[in-house]
Structure 1
Amino acid sequence: MTTTSRLLNLLSLLQTRRDWPGEVLAGRLEVSHRTVRRDVERLRNLGYRISAVKGPDGGYRLDAGSELPPLLFDDDQAVALAVALQTAAASGAGIEEAALRALTTVRQVLPSRLRHRIDALEFTAIPTGRTAPVPPDVLMTLSGAVHAREVLRFDYQTAQPEAPDTLPAPPRRVEPHHLVTTRGHWYLVGWDLGRGDWRIFRADRILPRTPSGPRFTPRELPGGDVHQFVSARFKGSAGGNVWPCTGSVVLSLPATRVLPFAGDGVVEDLGTGQCRLTAGSWSWLSLAASFGRFDTDIRVISPPQLAAAFGTLASRFEAAAADATR
């Protein structure tokens, strides 16, 4: 590794804003502790404020709030930055133009070798089609309240518009805990003080009010994991991250034909061109309909509620077919 490459790697590690024992840095860079000390001095001479950490192991830390000289990127960092900025158009954060301008600015200050790598990375980020853009100032307000642990006051636009003669709903008062993005939307996870329960709010429907409320002590999120919590709520589960309705059927198709379209279901090869599929959904009717998309013979294994749902769908489809022939 050349000295320049080693300095870039060292700077990349220090920029994670953690204390690095000298021996750990030496191991990561595959050099001696003495070489690490010399490289730290080289970075200090370039203007980077790196302090020594006292203790039995010793170490180094890049001071927070330092006025850094122009940032240096290694190859992987440059590619990661280019990908992140080019995919910003599909994030729903309302920063598409700013991201393109940032990519242009970064490209201009990179060495020609890295510019060529970025220019060769051409792709198109396609939104999900359901993306709901959120103004950046709203995202910053929500994120700032999460960080400061301040009660948020905001008006919330529900999916169903209110009748003209309906009194406006009072502002929501929420203890914000997490800001997440998934499925083309931004969501705020928080404790609704007015309803005394956890809620998930679409960020594009939030109109923040000022000033914000008092500081609060964070509550324990059910399950302790925001990913599992949001996934469970989207499945319609009030408990763990499982579908409220789960059933099994035998499909007259080989497992290789079903597996690519099984989602989070479990496929078991039964031989003779058949397979068993166990899957879940938020209702028995929706689960039965999802099994029907495989366009083959179906035999219900369990439970009885799934068989009843197939009967309900059969009656509805029969009625629809009869109505179409009139």
Structure 2
Amino acid sequence: MINAVMLKTALATLKNDGVSGLFTAVHDRVFPAQMSSYDDFKHLFLGKIGLEIGGPTRLFKRGNLVPVYPDAGRIDNCNFSAQTLWEGSIVEGATFRYHDGSEPGVQYVAEATDLNMIADDTYEFVLSSHVVEHTANPIQAMTEWKRVLKEQGTLVLVAPHLEGTFDRNRPVTTLAHMIEDFENKTPETDTTHLAEILALHDMSRDPAAGSRADFEQRCADNLTFRGMHHHVFDTALLVELVDHMGLQITAVEAFRPFNIVVIARKPAEGEAVSNEQFRGENSTWASPFQADKRGTAAK
């Protein structure tokens, strides 16, 4: 059934991207893409124990972009609050239900930047879909995600490409800015990007936000709602961030309408990391986004 938000989204897509853009958006929703290389990485999740930050998300379900859920042995979860815009009420304990037929995983309520309740080298994989942009200190968050990964463990990181989202009028964040956030121990109360968001957020691409007043109120109380995108990504930036974390990138793919996927591995102690094939003029990934094609990182 088509609801009011879906209708507003369709009309906004038609206005912004024309009939072809609307057709593409409908096609991508009805026939979601799967990573072309997922079958090569499936063994990394089969029967393995992992942790998802945020979620659950349809992108990890069967028939979707990175269909990890049906393959995993168990997935635990961490969310920032016992009440969120996306999941509603959350209860800690063995309550994380991510896939029919799978036993529920352990649910934690904690900041993505502070997983102190989880020991080092606990999980064989970590999943994160559309979380890193909501985090005021993404390097601190990813430091924790890397810490709880076992050696040779896998990170699946999904972030929104600005070109397909309400961020399209904002500048791409720099890695240098994220490094400053880490060095300055920037907390989740940070409002550095608030003025930019209020000025440049494309409301026509965000019908779920409701009225302008509703949107501004949620931004003003972001510590409760976590709806703001502190940082803005293109594919090259997400690659640079993962490389900065000292992770060995194994796959990069970008998909319409707005998803960037990076799969990376935590190296063994003393192992050299080289991501040159994914960076700069020598990169091997392809992207459907014009913003990437204008840069030097996409082929």
TM (normalized to structure 1)? 0.21
Greater CA radius of gyration, 1 or 2? 1
Higher normalized helix content (fraction of residues): 1
